[in-house]
Amino acid sequence: MSPTMNEDHFNRIIARYARPLARVAAGYASHGHQQEDLLQEIYFAVWQALPTFRGESRELTFVLGVAHNRGITFAARANRREFATLPETIADPRVAPDAVLERREEVERLYDAIRNLRPTHRQAIMLHLEGLSGKEIAAAQGTTENNVNVRLNRARVALREALHRGGQQDA
């Protein structure tokens, strides 16, 4: 592939999959600047891996596979297994929490819960939420579809419990 073709392909991929890639970054890094760093690392990894894409899988599967692999090494380099803190609520008593803020906090809790899942469960549930099939997730994880189903079920249980706990704490 010539450099120009690679650049065009890369442009299309970033434009098309920026949101899923940003969600992967949020699933591995807890703070804003870390997420930005990881997203740049993911873009670079996609750039490096692009010449190896031969169309054996969907483009989304390829891109997310690269992103998750980069997320794993990023987490290893950052050496972080800390818990993310929720953004502080507005201190001004005259401003009541609105639906948008509540929704945002729910989303933060979901990402927080995902970051605290075991790597196999985290990767499985994130790929599942992006629309990958059991077969595609199994290929990305180098395992069987049965194993993927087990991991997804356990991830759902863990997430439901974490979100339920988080909701109770805010009540």
Partner 1 sequence: MPERVPPQFDPSSLWHAADTPPVGAGETVRAVKHAQLRLILHRVVELGVPLAAIALVGLALRHASTPPERIFGAFISLGVVFAWARYLRAIGLERRSLAGPSPGFVSAALERCAYERRLAIFTWVILILELSFLLPWWIEGLPHHKGQGLGRLFFLTLWLPLALMIALAVWSIFLWRRASREAIELRQAAAELRED
Is residue 105 a contact partner of residue 87, using CB atoms and an 8 Å limit?
yes
Amino acid letter, 92 = D
Q: Which residues in 49-78 contact partner 1 (CB under 8 A)?
A: 49, 52-53, 62, 65-66, 68-70, 72-73, 75-77
Is residue 72 a contact partner of residue 38, using CB atoms and an 8 Å limit?
no
Amino acid letter, 80 = R
The answer to the question of residue 160 lying near partner 1 (CB under 8 A) is yes
> Least distance to partner 1 from the beta carbon of 42, Å?
10
The answer to the question of residue 15 lying near partner 1 (CB under 8 A) is yes
Q: Which of 82, 87, 153, 170 binds partner 1 (CB under 8 A)?
A: 153
The secondary element (H helix, E strand) that includes residue 166 is helix 145-170
Distance of CA 55 to the CA centre of its chain: 23
Rounded distance between C-alpha atoms, residue 55 and residue 53, angstroms: 6
Rounded distance between C-alpha atoms, residue 58 and residue 115, angstroms: 26
> Least distance to partner 1 from the beta carbon of 93, Å?
27
> Least distance to partner 1 from the beta carbon of 2, Å?
14
Residue 149: burial class (beta carbons within 10 Å; 0-12, 13-18, 19+): middle
The answer to the question of residue 120 lying near partner 1 (CB under 8 A) is yes
Q: Which of 14, 60, 86, 101 binds partner 1 (CB under 8 A)?
A: 14
Q: Which residues bind partner 1 (CB under 8 A)?
A: 7, 10-11, 14-15, 18-19, 22-23, 26, 40, 43-45, 47-49, 52-53, 62, 65-66, 68-70, 72-73, 75-77, 79, 103, 106-107, 110-111, 118-120, 123, 125, 129, 139-143, 147, 149-151, 153-154, 156-157, 159-160, 163
